[in-house]
Every structure is written in C-alpha cells, then in structure tokens.
Amino acid sequence: MSPSAPAFTNGTLPFEVPSLDKPCETWYRIYGSLSSTDNKHTPLLALHGGPGFPSDYMSILGPALAPRPVIIYDQLGNGRSTHLPETMGDTSFWTPELLLSELQNLVTGIGLDTRPGGYDVLGHSWGGMLAAMHAVTKPKGLRKLVLVSAPASMPLFLQEQAKLRANLPVDVQEVLTKHEKEDTTDSKAYHEAVQVFNERHMCLITPMPEEFQRSEDWIEKDPTVYHTMNGPSEFHVIGTIKDWSIVCQIPNISVPTLLLNGRHDEATDATMQPFFEGIDKVKWVTFENSSHTAMFEAPERFNTTVAGFLAE
C-alpha cells in the first residue's frame, strides 16, 4: 500500500444459504471509515464482475476515490469468500437471486442502509447487472447508481457478441466454433482464440494490469461460479445467466444513475441503451479509447467522472 493510499480493514460476514448445511461467509474490505463522524462522504459499494471474477481488480477504486469510503467484496464462491466447488454445474443453486440475496445481506450487515446520507453503488459488468437488480427493489438508503459496462439483457448482449466475434480473423473464428461444437473449450487452442477477442474488447492494455490478472487467476483456481453461471467464455454463455434480462424492470430504478462504457467494449452501446431509455435520471459517458476496463485504460477520466457524479 502506497503512503497516499487510504487505510483499509478486512472483514467477513456470515451469509446463511438455506439449501446448504455448511456455514458461508462473505469477505469484504473497507477503504477509509464508514463512521459518519470520521467521514462525511457517502460510501461507495463496488460490485465485481464475472460472475466469478473476484474483487482484486476493483481495489484500485479505494485509493482513486479517497477520501470517499469504498467497500469491495468477493461474491460467494469467489476470492476470499466461501468456496463451494462441490456445486459445480448446479444451475438450481447458482442463480442471480442467490447473489442478490448476498448483496442485500452485506448492505444490512455492515450498516449501509442505516447510515446517515445512505450509500452509493457502482457495479462493473456482471456487477452492474447485480447492482441494477438491487436498485429495482428500491432498497433503503440507496442514493446513486453507477453501471459500468453492464448489459441490460443477456440475449441482447449475446447478439452483440456475435457481431464482435464476426469481426475476428477467420482462423480465430474457426477455432472458437470447432471447440464449442466439440465441447473442448478447456483446450489451449480455445483459450488462445478467446484471448484474441479479449485483447480487442476486454482490456486494451498488454500485458493486462496486475490487479486484473489476479482476478482472472482466481477463475483458474476455482471456475465453479464462472462456468456454472456464465460458461467457458464471454460470448459462449451457456450458464444460468444466459436468459437474464432486467429490461422490463428498469423503470423501477428511481435513483440518479451514471452509465459508463468504452467505445471498443464488449458491452456495446446497444446492450446499455435500455438503461438510458428506461431510467428517468440518467447520464451516459463513453470512453473513446477504452474497452471493457476503462478504469485501467482511462483511469484519470474514469475516476474524475465517477467522483464528479457522486459529488453532485
């Protein structure tokens, strides 16, 4: 931790899952202080993507948005929270509703919903989808919402992925199709072909930032959540989120909302347009030289944009 970075504290919170006979915990980290006496700024809860891509890469927001308190956490089955490898492939267990319940448990457990001035939520990718699910419930204390590279509908997202995939080199497309048809998506050739897509639409920085790589490494250690809820790649989604959509519920989001994405993002403008059309108080900023990870590709403008919106 650099001398200018805010101090942080780590903690865990019990999360009861009725269908399990083992205790579960959600790991979280708080940058700064949640005490309204010590810090008058509204805290920001940051939700990581995936599903199954832990919060390591979101850690850059703590120092970037100081002195605002920032909370990151690892969703169940991810990072330092409880892992459940025995549930690999259990599509009745790994649902968006499970992780929404965990989010609501965390908000209550660390007292965000009772803090004077409330709290803000920023969600990236899948985390943005989860944040939108949270917002439509009109939770007590939620003040503002930031959706970063978050599609409003997975069917719409997959339509857009097909367009992006069609622009890949023909030989790369052939490798992807071959291994998906043969169910050999765990092969080295398939992973190398996926990387070609990722370098165009996931992160334009080569090599990928250390924090982002640490999150990616967790999928290698335990792919349970990503493979069960998503699938083997961003564009071959065969898990429990494949039919997910919040389009019909978007008008229920009543808090001021900021939409962010990159010009080269896998979350194209079309995937986020329903949020722009359906939310009453909404702003939209696109980073011209970024893809899915503008917080790394255009950090100064990203941080200034988020901080400015939250301070309004």
* Strand ranges of the sheet holding 119-124, from the earlier edge strand across to the other edge: 8-14, 25-31, 70-74, 44-47, 119-124, 142-148, 257-262, 282-287
How far apart CA 228 and CA 216 sit, in angstroms, is: 16
Q: How far is CA 240 from CA 18, 51, 96, 235, in A?
A: 19, 10, 8, 14
Q: Are strands 70-74 and 44-47 parallel, antiparallel or unpaired?
A: parallel
How far apart CA 250 and CA 274 sit, in angstroms, is: 8
How far apart CA 34 and CA 79 sit, in angstroms, is: 23
Question: CB–CB of 81/27 below 8 Å?
Answer: yes
Residue burial 97-132, b: 16+ Cβ < 10 Å; e: rest: ebbbbbbebbbebbebeebeebbbbbbbbbbbbbbb
Residue 83 catalytic?
Answer: no
Residue 35 catalytic?
Answer: no
How far apart CA 143 and CA 139 sit, in angstroms, is: 9
SS3 90: coil
164 CB neighbour count, 10 Å cutoff: 17
From the list 56, 74, 120, 265, the catalytic residue is: 265
From the list 134, 179, 236, 292, the catalytic residue is: 292
How far apart CA 136 and CA 252 sit, in angstroms, is: 5
Residue 171 catalytic?
Answer: no
From the list 55, 81, 125, 291, the catalytic residue is: 125
Count of positions (residues) in the chain: 312
Q: How far is CA 57 from CA 178, 218, 241, 251, in A?
A: 32, 11, 22, 30
Catalytic residue numbers, as ranges: 125, 265, 292
